[in-house]
Amino acid sequence: MTATKQEKSHPQGTSVPVFYRDIPFWLAVACGPVSWLLLWFSDTPRAAIHVPVTALLIASLIYPVLEEFVFRGGLQPALLARPVFRKRVGPVSLANVLTSIAFAAAHLLRQPPLWAALVLLPSLVFGWSRERYDSIVPPTLLHMFYNAGFIWLFVEA
């Protein structure tokens, strides 16, 4: 099968959409601002402390790269290597669900339980993009964008 402009060839002979030309990717990007607005108009407390700009940059740029490398680059593909974890409900695989649960649990180390639990939904989007585009680049970019917007609205520099 030949790859079109919208797709790249995949080792298994199938084709994978090029993420930046794929409407579902841009819909996933749009989910970030929608979630920020929902949080903004909720009773979510805003940070009352000033955080150094370097900490904000680390949270927006470095953490997403490291977390995506571990979770979507390591754990999720390892789970997908086993047929039982490839089972899906719609676009979401069991591997994605388990990876997202681990991702949310890891956020318990630095966030209150409710906030860590709220990480589950974006994590499912990141995992979906990992599987759809067969790369950790799209989920990493989504993660950076989601974190940057959240930090911009809820943390004072």
Cα separations in angstroms, 46 against 7, 83, 134, 151, 153: 42, 43, 36, 10, 8
Record the pTM.
0.86
pLDDT reading at 5 higher than 60: no
pLDDT at 132: 96
d(CA 50, CA 107): 21
Give the pLDDT confidence of 10-37 residue by residue, as tens digits: 545 567 889 999 999 999 999 999 888 8
d(CA 67, CA 63): 6
